[in-house]
Structure 1
């Protein structure tokens, strides 16, 4: 017979074991398999920590940490070192904050390619003066290899969201842009959402029909992107 004391000990041990697993998983999620392409076009595969937080080596630039091997010493790469990188399922390209905007006092940062095509959808947190570039990161395991040229068709998933509150406390609203490349980015808004997304997803009439029927909007764009990806995958 198991006494109450023994039950307590077993219960406590189980809780501690689960906490250890959770902690290990959380630590592992900081580092994702991926690759980067540097400014010379050279691709390097390894492990990426996409949003380490803190101050980077170059003022007004975003940065990532990279490991050549799973246990090797990490080193820092700034936006001026890179064209793009892929971490897990998600792809990011270097972008300059459009117009008079700044992203957490960064002139250059990484933006996620939410949808890739002739017209791309880019995502970042806290866009606008003083926004973006914080510590909040959500991850999806796995790796997706995009094709195409820098800034236009590095496709990815919707797992990692670079940016937060600029200091790690809380999070800011995700902002979206559209454009043929990062140099032409414009804000995606409620007013232009239907027209822009219908053009972006024009290859899938079923999806466009749902957009035109106002079943999706800027508030649930990630659901639309997931739906679009699902419809696309059904043809493969």
Structure 2
């Protein structure tokens, strides 16, 4: 009985998050000319995008103005709440099944950045899911585009849904043009480089306390250690 209640609770949480993700959220965008505008952003529009093969958002200044669509090629980045997103092409060795030009979330904004996306992407020749979105409960930045830890809200991007083939995918690189997929094989080396300023965290990476399978816990731990050192 208890397990059934837990499952029902999780289902309701996911449904609630999906419902919230379609709502307008305070945010701002920066266009390709470098202009920034604040207002409200809807990151899961159900309508068709302006340009085929590109993710898009909807924006309005306030609840009295008419919304308009902004395609990925119109933007450099956008922020909703504490979550930051930048525009990216599919890496050269991958094919994104939904949009080849879309948004990725900035998880760690440092010299080597960590990006995250969910679903709709696969290596060339592989099978991808449908749509692009972001894992519930992970909303962590470390400066630059945004900072802090946001909680619990899943934000599907570019009109994507929750397909059965979706999974969280992480990328790393100095920028989106250089980003590569984070894998089990390169995880220890890459995350050591990204989190090298925190020896306590690096030690646990080398001890394999944290791996790709539980990277969300590693990111939380890294931010906790970093915040404690600043205080």
Say if 2:229 is the partner of 1:235: yes
Alpha-carbon deviation of 1:101? 2.3
Change (3 A) 1:68 1:92: same
Whole-Å separation in 1 of the counterparts to 2:38 and 2:57: 14
**Alignment pair present for 1:179 and 2:176:** no
Alpha carbon RMSD of aligned pairs, Å?
A: 3.4
Corresponding position: 1:98 with 2:109: no
Matches within 5 A, 1:84-123: 84-123=77-116
**2:41 aligned residue:** 48
Does the 8 Å contact 2:21/2:154 carry over to 1? no
Written as runs of structure 1 = structure 2, the 5 A alignment for 1:118-137 is 118-126=111-119, 127-128=121-122, 129=124, 131=128, 134=131, 136=133
Offset at 1:52?
2.1
Deviation at 1:230, TM superposition (A): 1.2
Summarize deviations over 1:171-203 as a string: whole Å, max 9, x none. Answer: 601111111111111110011101100110011
Does structure 2 retain, via aligned residues, the 8 Å contact 1:113–1:155?
A: no
- Give how far 1:133 is off: 6.1
2:58 maps to 1:61 = no
Q: 1:86 to 1:164 in 2, by over 3 A?
A: closer
Q: Say if 2:131 and 2:158, in contact at 8 Å, map to a contact too.
A: yes
Structure 2 spans left out of the alignment, 5+ residues: 1-11
TM-score of the two chains, using structure 2 as the length reference:
0.77
Runs (4 or more) in structure 1 with deviation over 3 Å come to 25-29, 129-133, 135-140, 142-146, 153-171
Matches within 5 A, 1:66-215: 66-126=59-119, 127-128=121-122, 129=124, 131=128, 134=131, 136=133, 146-147=143-144, 157=149, 159-162=153-156, 166-170=160-164, 172-215=166-209
**Distance in 1 (alpha carbons) for counterparts of 2:26 and 2:193:** 33
Structure ID, larger Rg: 1
- Counterpart contact for 1:104–1:133, Cα < 8 Å: yes
C-alpha displacement at 1:124, in angstroms? Answer: 1.1
Once residues 67 and 165 of structure 1 are traced to their aligned partners in structure 2, the CA distance between those partners, rounded to angstroms, is 18
1:71-116 CA-partner distances (Å, limit 9, x unpaired): 5322111111100001111110000001142323412100001111
Greater share of strand: 2
Structure 2 vs 1, CA of residues 117 and 187 (structure 1 numbering), >3 Å: closer, same or farther? Answer: same
Number of aligned residues: 211
Residue 224 of structure 1 is matched in structure 2 by 218
Q: 1:88 to 1:108 in 2, by over 3 A?
A: same
